[in-house]
Amino acid sequence: MSRREGSLEDPQADSSISPLPHLESKIQQTHSLARLLTKYAEQLLQEYVQHQGDPFGLPGFSPPRLPVADLSAPAPGHAGLPVPERLRLDEAALAALPPLLDVVRRRQAELNPRALRLLRRLEDAARQARALGAAVEAVLAALGAETRGPRPEPNAIAAATVTAGVFPAKVLGLRVCGLYREWVSRTEADLGQLAPGGPA
Amino acid sequence: MPAGRPGPAAQSARRPPPLLPLLLLCVLGAPQAGSGADTAVISPQDPTLLIGSSLQATCSVHGDPPGATAEGLYWTLNGHRLPPELSRMLNASTLALALANLNGSRQQSGDNLVCHARDGSILAGSCLYVGLPPEKPFNISCWSKNMKDLTCRWTPGARGETFLHTNYSLKYKLRWYGQDNTCEEYHTVGPHSCHIPKDLALFTPYEIWVEATNRLGSARSDVLTLDILDVVTTDPPPEVHVSRVGGLEDQLSVRWVSPPALKDFLFQAKYQIRYRVEDSVDWKVVDDVSNQTSCRLAGLKPGTVYFVQVRCNPFGIYGSKKAGIWSEWSHPTAASTPRSERPGPGGGACEPRGGEPSSGPVRRELKQFLGWLKKHAYCSNLSFRLYDQWRAWMQKSHKTRNQDEGILSSGRRGAARGKGGPGGWAGRETRAPPGGRRPRALHPQP
């Protein structure tokens, strides 16, 4: 992710109006970042299914929703939680995604070594998730809300290697890319609740 | 899609898939009941097969939920449902599949063979790798632009498409000693190329070869032996300029600068020029340019736009006997010959500038004649410059006559008029070239 993407400015801001308060500015910037990354996450998902072959890209394809260690999809009741709690869950998910995306990238480097754009998108996604997670953490700190604090390193990566079939690896990659898209989109929606002009 | 016939007890995987150090299922949590995760197993997992071979596969249900059977299960391959006649139930919990005459894999990540429950949900999957072993790479060629690096490219095996990811590795070693080295910078000048940036020795031969490897085998090219000094090339000559030669309608002058890298390596260079008419695709090549940095193209069509390119070949580097490698052609430079009412001939060779000897047959004979004249007729003023002046004068004269009389002249009046004709030739009747072509060979008079 370029620095330009991480420091967005509102192109419609009128210079004659006094600068936004620091918190509102931070929220707005993070919201804009989340919106941009939602678009990138969608592109990543499209690129991913293209390289796995059918049926991965076919409408109605419904592989088993394999559980992923340290991460699950946003719960159905997520939207009903208070905004700070939602943002805490967003931040935790964004922190769990980078190592998973790295695993997927390494596996795809073996399965699709010539899919350079896919590999680059997976690498970018890991960086983008870290950046967005850090920005959400900063918003929570500015709100005076508690963050989750230091969390243990995911031990899934440090676990003993397990031989896995190619098809399950493809399905897992699809699951991780899908989770990335869900959580980035969820973060955008949750920040939209706080951004100026959004619902209180 | 494979042929849809139940085969006999056919061979299954030709070779078990290579064991890859994977770090994957550990990121999966424990399968939950009812999640549909791995409630069946396909065997074999991820087989590698030759094109045209057969496959026997099975889908065995785990029995979760209890009582699950193979009844109603079906197969898909790359999203397409396979005909039911290819399947049969081996027992209550196992559905078998027989595929024959397999086609090459549709994607390099493997064809997706999936076992489905009656309701269409996915129970298990396996990826098939169907392809061919690599053939021997060939046609390795290498070049060095500055005698410090080496770039090589090759052609993959004759059949090309293996349907499997095939890895190409360029290897090199000093011929008489040293260990094998592997090139690391691939795809620098195309998909089958590699660049070795440093640590190369001069005055000693290298052995270079390419190894191709995929899941079905490997192949190695023949070994190419070379000395870096023998494969040197340069950038194209810069600053190529093409201009008219006074009023001469069938000539253009080409000038260029020798590539700057030549200055550092104490070697000579030879050049080639090619040119074509603007609306033609046929290039004419002038080979005999030697180490000049200028050339005059003759015998061109008047009033015509020509595109010209120049390239360079360094040779004699540090005493090497071998020619180097031709550079790329310079960017095309265009110029037009002056307009003439009479069409001129096509084709030509590199002509001399200002009285220098030429290799063209007519001018060669003319040179001989002039030499004879100087020796026997004391015509010290004779030279190619005078000849060119005469030709330009002749062309002007023809224009003037055409304006006066409206007819083409055979040029009989030519220099015999004595109006601005070359000295030493006055009074002698000459036949101007018909149609404005190059002068006919002049035979020496005793």
For B112, which of A54, A113, A156 is closest by C-beta distance? A54
Nearest-angstrom CA–CA distance, A52 and B402: 77
CA distance A100 to chain B (A): 8
Query: Model confidence at A66, in pLDDT bands (50, 70, 90)?
Result: confident
Using one digit for the tens of pLDDT, what is the confidence trace for B111-137?
Answer: 999 999 999 999 999 999 999 999 999
Residue B67 or A131, more confident: A131
Closest B-chain CA to A66: B37
Query: Could you tell me which residues come within 8 angstroms of residue B369 by beta carbon, excluding any fewer than 6 positions away?
Result: B442, B443, B444
Q: Is pLDDT of B8 > 90?
A: no
DSSP H helical ranges for chain A: 3-6, 22-52, 83-111, 116-143, 155-158, 166-194
For A156, which of B19, B26, B37 is closest by C-beta distance? B26
Nearest-angstrom CA–CA distance, B290 and A75: 80
CA distance A7 to chain B (A): 33
Report yes or no: B111 at the A interface, CB cutoff 8 Å: yes
Q: Is pLDDT of B343 > 60?
A: no
pLDDT for the residue numbered B351: 56
CA distance B198 to chain A (A): 26
CA distance B122 to chain A (A): 6
Nearest-angstrom CA–CA distance, B111 and A53: 7
Report yes or no: B76 at the A interface, CB cutoff 8 Å: yes
For B22, which of A52, A62, A164 is closest by C-beta distance? A164
Report yes or no: B158 at the A interface, CB cutoff 8 Å: no
Hey, are the CB atoms on A164 and B25 less than 8 Å from each other? yes
- Cβ-Cβ contacts under 8 Å, B42 against chain A: 167
- Cβ-Cβ contacts under 8 Å, B117 against chain A: none
A23-53+80-149+156-194: CATH topology: Growth Hormone; Chain: A; (1.20.1250)
Sketch out chain B's domains with CATH numbers: 39-131 (2.60.40.10), 138-232 (2.60.40.10), 234-336 (2.60.40.10)
- Cβ-Cβ contacts under 8 Å, A65 against chain B: 35-36
- Cβ-Cβ contacts under 8 Å, A64 against chain B: 35-38, 121-122
Instruction: Among A58, A72, A167, pick the best mutation site for testing chain B contact (most B Cβ within 10 A).
Output: A167
Nearest-angstrom CA–CA distance, B106 and B189: 27
Q: Which amino acid is at A16?
A: S
Interface of A with B (CB under 8 A): 51-56, 58, 61-69, 100, 103, 106-107, 110-114, 156-157, 159-172
Using one digit for the tens of pLDDT, what is the confidence trace for A16-43?
Answer: 444 456 888 899 999 999 999 999 999 9
pLDDT for the residue numbered B403: 57
For B28, which of A113, A160, A172 is closest by C-beta distance? A172
- Cβ-Cβ contacts under 8 Å, A162 against chain B: 22-26
Q: Is pLDDT of A172 > 90?
A: yes
DSSP H helical ranges for B266-414: 361-376, 384-405
- Cβ-Cβ contacts under 8 Å, B46 against chain A: 165-167
> By three-state DSSP, how is residue B231 classified?
helix
pLDDT for the residue numbered B404: 56
Using one digit for the tens of pLDDT, what is the confidence trace for B388-431?
Answer: 666 666 666 655 655 555 443 444 443 334 443 333 322 333 34
How far the first Cα of chain B sits from its last, in Å, is 88
> By three-state DSSP, how is residue B226 classified?
strand
Hey, are the CB atoms on B28 and A67 less than 8 Å from each other? yes
Residue B123 · residue B40 · CB < 8 Å:
yes
Instruction: Among A54, A56, A175, A180, pick the best mutation site for testing chain B contact (most B Cβ within 10 A).
Output: A54
CA distance B86 to chain A (A): 20
- Cβ-Cβ contacts under 8 Å, A59 against chain B: none
Closest A-chain CA to B119: A62
Report yes or no: B64 at the A interface, CB cutoff 8 Å: no
pLDDT for the residue numbered A145: 75
Report yes or no: B107 at the A interface, CB cutoff 8 Å: yes
DSSP A200: -
Hey, are the CB atoms on A64 and B106 less than 8 Å from each other? no
Nearest-angstrom CA–CA distance, B172 and B370: 59
Percent of chain A with pLDDT strictly greater than 70: 78
Residue A141 · residue A34 · CB < 8 Å:
no
Is the pTM higher than 0.80?
Answer: no
Using one digit for the tens of pLDDT, what is the confidence trace for B234-267?
Answer: 889 989 999 999 889 999 999 999 888 767 665 6
Closest CA to B214 of B132, B321, B302, B136: B132
- Cβ-Cβ contacts under 8 Å, B81 against chain A: none
Report yes or no: B47 at the A interface, CB cutoff 8 Å: no
Q: Is pLDDT of B355 > 60?
A: no
Instruction: Among B1, B25, B27, pick the best mutation site for testing chain A contact (most A Cβ within 10 A).
Output: B27
For A161, which of B21, B79, B112 is closest by C-beta distance? B21
Report yes or no: B33 at the A interface, CB cutoff 8 Å: no
Q: Please count the helices (runs of H) and the strands (runs of E) in chain B.
A: 3, 26
Hey, are the CB atoms on B109 and A170 less than 8 Å from each other? yes
Cis peptide before B302 (omega within 30 of 0): no
pLDDT for the residue numbered A199: 59
Query: Model confidence at B214, in pLDDT bands (50, 70, 90)?
Result: very high
pLDDT for the residue numbered B400: 63
Complex ipTM tops 0.95: no
Residue keyed to tokens 């370029």: A2
Cis peptide before B44 (omega within 30 of 0): yes
Hey, are the CB atoms on A167 and B76 less than 8 Å from each other? no
Q: Is pLDDT of A159 > 60?
A: no
Closest CA to A103 of A167, A156, A58: A156
pLDDT for the residue numbered B5: 37
Q: Is pLDDT of B150 > 50?
A: yes
Question: Of the ranges B159-168, B197-206, B385-394, which one carries the lowest mean pLDDT score?
Answer: B385-394
pLDDT for the residue numbered A14: 45
Query: Model confidence at A87, in pLDDT bands (50, 70, 90)?
Result: very high
For A165, which of B46, B78, B121 is closest by C-beta distance? B46
For A66, which of B28, B78, B79 is closest by C-beta distance? B28
> By three-state DSSP, how is residue B220 classified?
strand
How many Cβ atoms are within 10 Å of B246's Cβ, its own excluded? 12
